[in-house]
Amino acid sequence: MNKAIKYRVYPTTEQSIMFAKTFGCARKIYNLMLADKIAGYQTTGKIPMVTPAMYKQEYPYLKEVDSFALCNVQLHLQAAFGNHFSKARKKRTGFPRFKSLKNSRKSYTTNNSHGTVAVSDGAIRLPKIGWVKAVIHRQPEDGWLLKSATVSQDPDGKYYVSVLFEIPDPVRDHVPDLSNAIGLDYASDGLYIDSNGNKGTNHKYYRESHEKLAKAQRRLSRMQGSRKGEKRSANYEKQLRKVNRIHRHIANQRLDHLHKLSTEIANRYDVVCAEDLDMRSLAGRGFGNGRATMDNGYGMFLGMLGYKLSDRGKYLVRVNKWFPSSQICHRCGKMHPEMKDLKIRVMDCSCGHHIGRDQNAALNILREGLRVLNESLAA
| Cα–Cα distances in angstroms (integers) from residue 48 to residues 35, 36, 82, in the given order | 11, 8, 14
Angle between helices 234-268 and 298-311 (to 10 degrees): 50
Q: Which of 193, 204, 200 lies closest to 346, judged by CA?
A: 193
The answer to whether 213 touches 247, Cβ cutoff 8 Å, is yes
Sign of CA dihedral 15, 21, 27, 30: negative
| Catalytic hit among 66, 194, 275, 295 | 275
User: Is 358 in the active site?
Assistant: yes
Strand partners, 152: 107, 160
| Catalytic hit among 194, 295, 358, 368 | 358
* Rounded Cα distance, 144 and 68, in Å: 21
State the virtual CA torsion across 217, 97, 129, 71 in degrees, nearest 10: 170
Strand partners, 106: 153
* Rounded Cα distance, 42 and 124, in Å: 44
User: HSE of 94 in the Cβ direction (CA atoms, 13 Å)?
Assistant: 3
| Catalytic hit among 185, 270, 295, 368 | 185
> 162 in helix, strand or coil?
strand
Q: Which of 373, 375, 327 lies closest to 183, judged by CA?
A: 373
The answer to whether 10 touches 159, Cβ cutoff 8 Å, is yes
Longest dimension (CA), the chain: 80
User: Is 276 in the active site?
Assistant: no
User: Is 211 in the active site?
Assistant: no
Contacts of 350 (CB under 8 A, 6+ apart): 334
* Rounded Cα distance, 75 and 79, in Å: 6
Q: Which residues are catalytic?
A: 185, 275, 358
